[in-house]
Structure 1
Amino acid sequence: MNTTHPAMTLYGLKVSYFTGKMENYLRYKEIPFSYQSMTAEHFERIIPEATGARQMPAIQLADGRWMTDSTPMIEWLETQWPRHSIYPDDPLQDFVCRLIEDYADEWLWRPAMHYRWSFAAGRAMLGHLIVDEMAPTTPLPRVLIRWSVRRRQKKYFVDGDGVTRQTRAHVEQGYLRLLDILERVFTQRPFVFGERPTLADFGLSGPLFRHFANDPDPAMIMRERAPAVYAWTARLWRTRGSACGTGLVTGIPDDLLPLLAEIGATHLPNLVANAAAHARQQREYSVALQGTSYTRLPVSQYRVWCLERLQHRARALPEEVAALARPLLEAQQCWQPLWQDAMVSSGYDPDQQVPFGRGLPVYHVPGP
């Protein structure tokens, strides 16, 4: 971490999904920043007063402005610190990076939270770590606060996000498939697209670095089943833009096609079903994915926006690039929801203020 004349302060937790993603990015880019634990006061009062939403992480710039939401934060930071860009020059690679990032941010959230809060060892460890960082001086009994945190997280992010006895096996199989796919990739090259990290790596680092490689149960699986993936998490953490290779592979390598197929079979149809329910003003929706039925999933306006942005980016590709993309992505079930289905409209961030917008929550979750 470069803290010499920091350009910003990153508020988050050392076990946080998106804090880890942002730390990896800032370290690689060698952007001067300081880290500040997001205490309960930050989360409940300071951050909401500054941004209009309780979100983690949040960044305060040296000029006093606040930012939230990792994807638009990275997009803005790339305009300010363009050296060692994480976006490939190849427009098709660039689009696939953004698709992988969205899958990592939104679809892998469910298995990451399941493995953290459904297993006794993870619940116990994370209950301690979160309370110790967020409430180091609380006068309340710590055992009670830890119990409350464990209960809240499982209620909203596991039980309330479609993880049931009927879906649990599918949730876990998705993690195992991801490990098998990435193990083949990282035995061939250090990062997703070659010698240097791209947005795809930083997106995947959200769930893989601070959850799957850190929490007891998924970490044991990763070490034994996918040691090259485990090594990649450390490699990304220590890599700096000024001291790594620059070469990327040509086009979309064959070993990434199974990952695109997984996205086409899970993440994209889930986004489509969520968007359709949002258009009908429903609060819940159901969707069948790879033979597993998920019911009573909470409708997310933010995820409609995610699909909306992907559709806009896909349809903005130059004609010659789209011609190359179509047979590749059609075979992986990724073409229709992005290029052929009707454009969705989220109503999220209508004034295009992210990452500086106010009152733009990613998740609508009641307070503790």
Structure 2
Amino acid sequence: MFYRQAGIRYTSYPAERQLWPLGIERVLMGLILALALIAPALLSPLLLSSYLLPWVIWSIAALGLNLLMGGAGQIHLGYAAVMAIGAYSATHAARAGLPFELSLLVAGLASAVIGVIFGAAALRIRGLYLAIATLAMQYIVDFAIGHIPAISGGTQATVATPTPRILGIPVEGPVGGYYIALVVCIVVTLFMLNLRRTSFGRALAAIREKDYAAEILGISAFRYKLMAFWTSSFIGGVAGAILVFCYYRSVSPEQFHLETSVQLVAMVIVGGLGSVLGTFLGAALILLAPLALSALVASLASSGLPIGSDLRAHLPLVLYGALIVGFLIAEPLGLAKLYDNARKYLLVWPFRHARS
């Protein structure tokens, strides 16, 4: 067994605080990164554009939301509105002639500014009241986008996004869009992994547990919550821009309704609050499981099983709901906790009575 802590002796604080102290974990991360880089050569364009690319993009958005919900303990039911602000800001910036790189920056800043405005008003309340306040943000942004022609052109209008250019070189097709999304995903993932090791991350953890106790320790809860809203909204705006430039290739109001916000919240909760790995697992389950179950039911129906058309239409949704409930019953802390349980078991195997 290579999954062992034996022989690891820390002689400095940086060595103890490294992201992956076990050698096997560094090998696994290297393999995952290598597979991500060569994925376009291994997968067909259909699989790349239908499964892998949206998974990477929605994982970026879920990471931004997890910073707020898992890091600071603040619920947000209007995250799709944050993504919409970034998507439209980047689209109009690119159509005005700004380079794609600056358009991403404009998307993040626009979402961060508006997110902080709503966050400043919402952070004087907490719990379900905060959820309702962020829900109001979703409806306000939806209304503004749909009824201000200068932004969207109308409720039924679709605005085409320009071809993204990196250093002046046009990036076309699913492969180019995948690599753009992958680079952004790697940057956001490294930021989230290192966040908990910073004073900002530790302050958010203190506020998440007991905000009034953090105030006693000298941590300004309002300031750090506002910073969490700013950072989370910035990531959400960039994710919205990547979504419309690299996947949809256009932007319209119906892409960012309340259902999208609920879906993102489900990704974070099912994956595990505060877990980077759990965010990817939750995004995969929420995003890809319905497609896989639909294909499974279709194959069963084509193999001769007596599945009616009505049952065939609703059975994937039933199985999907049962799958999510089953995972949450097995481990209420999310899919990341299942991985953590397996990791801890392997650390002490075969001594089941020991604990790491």
TM bucket normalised to smaller? under 0.3
Whichever of the two has the greater Rg, that structure is 2
Q: Which structure's residues are more often strand, by fraction? A: 1
TM-score by length of 1: 0.25
Highest relative contact order (Cα 8 Å, sep 6+), 1 or 2? 2
TM-score by length of 2: 0.25
